Amino acid sequence: MQYKVRAILALLDELYPRAKCSLDFRNPLELLVATVLSAQCTDERVNMVTPELFRKYPTAGAYAGAPLEELENDIRSTGFYHNKAKSIKACCRILDERFGGRIPADLDVLVQLPGIGRKTANVILGNAFQVPGIVVDTHVARVAQRLGLTSQKDPEKIEQDLMVLIPRERWIKFSHQLIQHGRQLCQARKPKTEICPLRPYCDYAANMVTD
pLDDT, one tens digit per residue, over 145-168 is: 999 999 999 999 999 999 999 999
**Catalytic site includes residue 137:** yes
**Domain end position, chosen among 74, 93, 128:** 128
Confidence of residue 211 (pLDDT cuts 50, 70, 90): very low
CB 161 within 8 A of CB 149: yes
The pLDDT assigned to 208 comes to 82
State the CATH number of the domain containing residue 190.
1.10.1670.10
- Residue 98 near residue 19 (C-beta atoms within 8 A): no
pLDDT digits 0-9 by tens, 25-40: 999 999 999 999 999 9
Choosing from 137, 161, 190, 211, the catalytic residue is 137
Give the chain's domain count: 2
Q: Which domain holds residue 117?
A: 28-128
pLDDT digits (tens, 9 = 90+) for 62-121: 999 999 999 999 999 999 999 999 999 999 999 999 999 999 999 999 999 999 999 999
Helix (H) or strand (E) holding 138: helix 138-147
User: Any residues with CB less than 8 A from the CB of 28 and at least 6 apart, and which?
Assistant: 102, 103, 105, 124, 128, 129
Tell me if residue 190 is catalytic. Answer: no
- Please report whether residue 94 resides in a domain: yes
CB 129 within 8 A of CB 105: yes
pTM reported for the whole predicted model: 0.92
One domain, residues 81 and 151: no
CB count within 10 Å of CB 154 equals 11
Chosen domain end from 97, 128, 159: 128
- Specify the CATH number for the domain of residue 53: 1.10.340.30
For residue 136, being part of any structural domain is answered with no
